[in-house]
Amino acid sequence: MRKQFICGNWKMFKDLVETAELINGLKTEVSSLNPKVTVAVCPPFTSLAIAANLLKDSTIRIGAQNMSPHDEGACTGEISWRMLKSVGCEYVILGHSERRQFFGETNELINEKAKKALANGLKPIVCVGETLDQREKGVTTQIITTQIKGVLDGIGSSDLGNVTIAYEPVWAIGTGKNATPLQAQEVHQGIRKLIGQLYNWSVAESIVIQYGGSVKPENAKDLLAQDDIDGALVGGACLKPDSFLAIISAAKS
């Protein structure tokens, strides 16, 4: 049985004071929820250290929202895996659609980052998803297949156990729209089938595939009840303790 994984992507929100308020509002409550659900938060870089310090005795894990493929050097504005590890990160989100759309990140770059993360003890949450235009043209499967093959190229089955795939339809991120549970399940099932073809069915059965895209307390239970949806990568709803805790509570055990 795959463990449900709920991760909050804070995006570019929360200063240090707000970070402490949100973390303190989460950590005591999470401990009383379903222990079979893995919970992580991904604050902005400036808040990672304070968040990790506040969560040192908590079950909530820490992740970052991005990472450079380089170890160090003259890369102004970039953050390396070593920096993330030094503040206590366990996870790193890679290839979020906003990075692809606004910052030109390609499957090849995301693949390079994923390999670097895995080689250095970080667990990548690798995002894939189609635009509204692509869905309306009926090419969702082709787009997702190309993305999965690209971002996992050269990553062996032994490493895939530390990879989470997050399916985030671009048209449902921050729009208030979301895929229906059946639409999301269809894509998740297709991703699992593709992983089985690229690796083997044992690997496919064990890999965690999250859904992201306007996940809210109101729709979380129906989405998370689907057979191949193993959790959620949560955006706006993770910025308030009550709504994030409600989504965690909706995860199936």
Catalytic machinery residues:
96, 168
Asked whether the beta carbons of 24 and 18 are under 8 A apart, the reply is: no
* Integer Cα distance of 180 and 153 in angstroms: 30
Asked whether the beta carbons of 77 and 110 are under 8 A apart, the reply is: no
Q: Give which of 51, 133, 147, 132 is closest to 90, Cα–Cα.
A: 51
Residues shown for the chain: 253
Residue bearing tokens 């890679």: 94
* Integer Cα distance of 228 and 211 in angstroms: 10
DSSP 8-state class, residue 210:
E
